[in-house]
Homo-oligomer: A and B are copies of this chain.
Amino acid sequence: MNILILGGGGVIGQKLAASLAVRGELRGQPISKLTLADISDPAPVAASFPVDCITCNIADATSVNASVGADVDVIYLLAAIVSAHAEEDFDAGLSINMMGTLNVLERVRALGTRPVVVFTSSIAVYGGEVPDPIIDHTFLNPQTSYGAQKAIGELLVNDYSRKGFIDGRGFRLPTISVRPGKPNRAASSFMSSILREPLNGEEAICPVEDDFPHYYLSPRKCVENLIKGAEIPEADLGMNRCMMMPGKMWTIRQVIDAMTAVAGPEPAKLIRWEPQPDIQRIVKGWRFDMRPEKSVKLGLEADESFEDNIRYYLEDDKPAG
């Protein structure tokens, strides 16, 4: 089993690589090779099988062609620029999120190797005037360019699969929290920062009110779901291969209370409340009342409680010292 992670330098890509290294197998086969590809050199991951780290710009078809070989069995297509970034830089969103996805799909179509392609979409595909709750058959009406580009990626993954060019499956990720590392340009970045920084003993800014509801998943569960996602038998995917990845809805108050329950009262005192209209304009258009059925039936899972998300961060990611 030869696996390529496009976006292998990102938070999820690195955690996925580490998890694959521990498992040593995927889809019932031992992993023979893992390639981590990203726009800049991804950090290596220790494993009992060879791990290559390469640079690849998915917006550039030549770079994609050089990075995606005929011997690849499973491609994780995680590479993207995130919501606020794509909203500010429309060209970058088009060329990376939309054309980048097309470049990868076109490359494997040309190879004729029909790999498994696991595509990460986002709950940012939902929005507009569709009624709650969001169910498996809800219309995608993204209100960001990032969401539109992800919805386009889903249509491509479905069509390339239907045509037999790939064995694709797409998962709409909830907001991943607690996300380790630095803040990024996702409008949702604060939904990790207000927990991560205080848990690290640092100040953080919360740009929304404490009753703001959102739909969350921990990085640990996300990676477990991405591995399960690659292993779902093709016959079980049906005519739509793109679906919600299960998460849970919490308010800002609930996630802060969960932090307090796990880590005591001090971290919450490090949160400063500063309303930010630009961020609010994006995130208040997002939907949060999600009722995934298909992905749950296929074995994907949400976290049990947000206390778990906090504990996973402390166990997996909190910097030492």
Taking a contact as CB atoms closer than 8 A, the residue among B131, B142, B156, B239 that contacts A141 in the complex is B239
- B-chain residues with CB within 8 Å of residue A139 when the two chains form the complex: 136-140, 240
Q: Does A151 contact B (CB under 8 A)?
A: yes
Q: How far is the CA of A136 from the CA of B131 in the complex (A)?
A: 11
Q: Does A301 contact B (CB under 8 A)?
A: no
CB pair B137 A138 closer than 8 Å:
yes
CB pair A155 B148 closer than 8 Å:
yes
Interface string of A121-161 (1 = CB under 8 A from B): 00000011111000011111111010010011001101100
CB pair A127 B239 closer than 8 Å:
yes
- B-chain residues with CB within 8 Å of residue A138 when the two chains form the complex: 137, 139
Q: How far is the CA of A163 from the CA of B162 in the complex (A)?
A: 32
Chain B: which residue is nearest A90 at the CB level? B163
Known: A127-B239, A239-B127. A151 touches B141 (CB 8 A): no
Chain B: which residue is nearest A106 at the CB level? B94
- B-chain residues with CB within 8 Å of residue A142 when the two chains form the complex: 155, 158-159
Minimum CB–CB distance from A114 to chain B (whole Å) comes to: 15
Taking a contact as CB atoms closer than 8 A, the residue among B148, B156, B238 that contacts A159 in the complex is B148
Minimum CB–CB distance from A13 to chain B (whole Å) comes to: 26
- B-chain residues with CB within 8 Å of residue A141 when the two chains form the complex: 158, 239-240
CB pair B143 A151 closer than 8 Å:
no
Q: How far is the CA of A30 from the CA of B158 in the complex (A)?
A: 45
Q: How far is the CA of A307 from the CA of B143 in the complex (A)?
A: 42
- B-chain residues with CB within 8 Å of residue A127 when the two chains form the complex: 239
- B-chain residues with CB within 8 Å of residue A136 when the two chains form the complex: 139
Chain B: which residue is nearest A145 at the CB level? B159
CB pair A162 B143 closer than 8 Å:
yes
Minimum CB–CB distance from A88 to chain B (whole Å) comes to: 11
CB pair A163 B137 closer than 8 Å:
no
Q: How far is the CA of A111 from the CA of B59 in the complex (A)?
A: 24
Taking a contact as CB atoms closer than 8 A, the residue among B129, B148, B155, B158 that contacts A238 in the complex is B129
- B-chain residues with CB within 8 Å of residue A159 when the two chains form the complex: 142, 145, 148
Q: How far is the CA of A238 from the CA of B130 in the complex (A)?
A: 11
Q: How far is the CA of A142 from the CA of B131 in the complex (A)?
A: 22
- State the A residues within 8 Å of B (CB): 90, 109, 127-131, 136-143, 145, 148, 151-152, 155-156, 158-159, 162-163, 238-240
A-B contact pairs, 6 of them (CB 8 A): A130-B137, A137-B138, A140-B155, A145-B159, A145-B163, A148-B156
The 3 closest A-B pairs by CB, nearest first: A128-B239, A148-B159, A130-B137
